Copies of this chain bind each other. A is one copy, B any other.
Amino acid sequence: MPSRGPQAARSLEHRHVKSPSQPRDRGIPEATVARLPLYLRALHGMAERGIATVSSEDLAVAAGVNSAKLRKDLSHLGSYGTRGVGYDVEYLVYQISRELGLTQDWAVAIVGVGNLGRALANYGGFVSRGFRVAALVDADPEVVGDTIAGLNVEHIDDLEAVIKRRGVSIVVLATPAAAAQEVCDRVVAVGVTSILNFAPVVLSVPESVDVRKVDLSIELQILAFHEQRKAGGPLMAVDSQ
């Protein structure tokens, strides 16, 4: 049997990170992992409004899931609430944050400092969730040396050194599509195994690397589906017969 070679070990990026129903990591389903940030967002909002305890029903409405699913998800964390009282908001924030790994400090590098990279560098929602933007990197000599969000923009030639020096564990790719795979290969070669990809391209990575892709048009497409229905789209016509 022939050796598979390095190419055979590479996968399309979504293959092992997006299968929503496959359990991994001691039986916590991937779909549950994907919902934990939604619960956390709702709980943070409640904590800010001084709410100390919350019923599974109220938390489910705030997070946009049904309450049976919420209770099942939280049971994976060993969190069952108290009958007639509900969940302690602060403790549940801690439990979910710990589960997601957000009680650690994650050093993030943003590669590509155009409008999107700048928006991400200034995005308040990262810091409050345990993500520290530790490095900004760009190829454009006009941009290198600028200070953005308190950080000096460094040159792409120094990418590997910057990642090591700053202890970067997650790389955010906000480069043009044409540059993304090369940057990806370089950060993988230097040991990074978590990549958030904003570039409009499917990246090839080894199996051991997790890539999440943000496609800014996907939520718009879901809105368009409902907008079409409201306006009486093709299937609505069938419905009304």
Contact = CB atoms under 8 A, between A and B. Distances in A.
Interface of A: 12, 14-15, 17-22, 25-26, 28, 33-34, 36-38, 40-41, 45, 61-66, 69, 98-102, 104, 106, 108, 114-116, 118-120, 122-126, 129-131, 169-170, 172, 193-196, 200, 202, 208, 210, 212, 214-230, 233-236, 238-239
A185 B102 CA distance: 34
B34 A220 contact: no
Given A19-B64, A20-B65, A235 B131 contact: no
Contact of A115 (B12, B40, B116, B222): B116
A216 B212 CA distance: 11
13 contacts: A25-B235, A37-B217, A99-B225, A99-B235, A115-B115, A125-B217, A129-B217, A131-B220, A196-B219, A196-B220, A196-B223, A210-B223, A212-B223
Contacts of A61: 12, 15
